[in-house]
Amino acid sequence: MGLSLIEAAKHETRVERLAVIKTFTEGQLISRLPFRNLLGGALKFAVEKKMPRVGFRAVNEGYRRDYGAVENDTEFVHLFGGDLDVDRSIVDLNGPEARASQTEQKVRSMRLTLEAAVINGDAAFDPRAFNGLSKRLTPGGPQTVDNTSGSVKLTRLEALVDSVNAYGSEKVLLTSKAGRRQISSACRAAGGDLYQVMDGRHWFEDTEILCLEEDANGNDVLGFGEAGGTTSIYCCAFGDEQMTGLQGPFEGRYGISVRDFGEVQDAPVFRTRVDWYVGFAVCDQKAIGRLFNIGPALT
């Protein structure tokens, strides 16, 4: 069973990796997404296409023979990370804290980049990466709901949530802070307790709302940059058989690798390498959904 980074941190004993995990868990999506450990570099799984039929029978009759139809699919882990070089003079003049600060910025950039890839990743644009939710859920296709322009409509949002099957796990909504404000405003206008905030966590009915901010380049992950100046809200169910992260082993252990090479020979710099064999899979197509064609709120 895949563990979220918050749960994985409870089993980690190395200080440098704990610091990296802490920075990764600053993101609401990455902190909640479970990561499934793979023995190799790929996950092969069967996607249900047609359920087998069952029925009733009379005494001395046999059951109808039938079988379900499945389609084999494969998702891979990808090599993700970066090297960080800090000039020796910076460390000598400003102390080791300067290097630690640069390392933290590098890890934060990784977290923002990975969260953006889960939403907007495009393997056609970058073959080294994976397809995100926007490529797996094209507007007008299966598991998508049209908001019909304008600010978010609660009936369409409820249709999105209802279209996702969690099979006992929890559903979450993925949106921007602007999208969350639209949901909050629409719920206040409708009255009742459709929108609640408990212990700092925001909920629409019984579905938690997670916000994504900017990517590492300062671009909105879920901004109004889609067709016609619109945006989307996604609903996902996390789990090993639903939507899950993937990670491969490194030196016999799973998770994020942090290596300090010290001062390298070819330059007067201290080098740190952070990498992660990471991927992303949707094992059940009904575990994800998209509400598209949401316009900006009127002011």
Compute the mean pLDDT over every residue in the chain, rounded to the nearest whole number: 88
pTM here is 0.89
> Can you give the pLDDT at residue 156?
94
Each residue of 61-102: pLDDT tens digit?
888 888 888 888 889 999 998 888 898 998 899 888 888 888
| pLDDT tops 70 at residue 13 | no
- Select the more confidently predicted residue: 251 or 139: 139
Each residue of 112-165: pLDDT tens digit?
999 999 999 999 999 999 999 999 999 999 999 999 888 999 999 999 999 999
Which residues, listed in sequence order, are joined to residue 145 by a DSSP beta bridge? 291
Q: What is the DSSP letter of 214?
A: B
| pLDDT tops 70 at residue 6 | no
CA 109 to chain centre: 15
Cβ atoms < 10 Å from Cβ of 180: 19
Pinpoint the alpha helices (H) of the chain. Answer: 5-9, 15-24, 28-32, 88-94, 96-120, 133-136, 154-163, 177-190
Walk me through the domains of the chain, giving residue ranges and CATH numbers.
5-50+70-294 (3.90.1690)
